[in-house]
Amino acid sequence: MFLIPLLLGALATILPPLALTALMAHNGHAARLHPQLPLKTISWFFLIPLVSLLFFGSDVLSQVHLTDAVLGTGAIALIYLLALKAGARSNTAFTWATLGIIVYGLLRAYAWGSHLEPLHTEALNSAFEQMRQIQQNIDESVIQATLAAVNKLWPAQWMITQILALFVGFILFKSFSRIDEPLSTRAFPAFYNLFILAVLPLYFIPSLRLYFFNALLPLCMIPFIQGVAVANQKIASIFRSKVVRVVIMILLLLNYITYILLTLIGFAYMWKSPLILQQGDTPQ
């Protein structure tokens, strides 16, 4: 069982989101064989990134990629497993892992922002240049406004990508380990909403407003996921066809206003959870 985590550790140095999803899925399969097996094998994941960081992490970009593998991927899966071992439900464990991504993502931006932002800007400029070539009559002012807005949110983009990868892995983990906990009937823990409320005052401090947006957007991912689950349940109560439900959800998500509404729905639904720390989830 050590070979797959070892290979995923190598993959994480190149593609952290894919590695995180695959590691979560592997841990779910291992948990089905024995509940303690994932914690015994996950240490192999860290071997290649840590050795590489020790011997080949001389330049900044290498340090970033290798640290992303260790703290942004392996440590996140480890937080999830440790939360389950402590008796937390899978939704609560996912919440702690998500907070781990956000904390690391903000520290990542603070430590290496001066090196990563120019690379992000260059990639965006290249993407928009290709867009100009494809669509000649596109409004240049729209491109510049979009570029200026998106360029400052690169930390949030990285965190959201990792959270989505974690969520896919979370679904696979539950499937492989046979944890039966539908999102529409088992809310994410209510205490998570306190973190969202805690960052709101940053908006009123001009010097911290950029940190506000980069923290708020990834923090809103869990309420958004909760809102999608609740909306899907309501739609399922009306339409039995899965195809119809998928089409309706796609149409809803084409409107950016829907993202705000679903996030607010998820935020409100999570307050219904009566427990701060929910206990008792184990693989069957």
Q: Is the pLDDT reported for residue 277 higher than 60?
A: no
Query: Which of 102, 209, 103, 113 has the alpha carbon at shortest distance from 159?
Result: 102
Q: How far is CA 97 from CA 1, 60, 75, 134, 261, in A?
A: 23, 26, 9, 40, 25
In this prediction, residue 57 carries a pLDDT of 75
Q: Supply the pTM of this predicted model.
A: 0.89
In this prediction, residue 284 carries a pLDDT of 42
Q: Which residues lie below 8 Å from residue 112, measured CB to CB, with a gap of 6+? A: 60, 63, 64
| Residue 186: φ, ψ to 5° | -130, 100
| Whether the Cβ atoms of residue 105 and residue 155 lie closer than 8 Å to each other | yes
Percent of the chain beyond pLDDT 70? 88
What tokens appear for 165 in the block? 């990868």
Mean pLDDT across the chain: 88
What tokens appear for 179 in the block? 């944890």
Q: What is the pLDDT of residues 213-251, one digit of tens each?
A: 999 999 999 999 999 999 988 898 888 888 888 899 888
Q: What is the pLDDT of residues 139-191, one digit of tens each?
A: 666 666 667 777 789 999 999 999 999 999 999 999 998 877 777 667 899 99
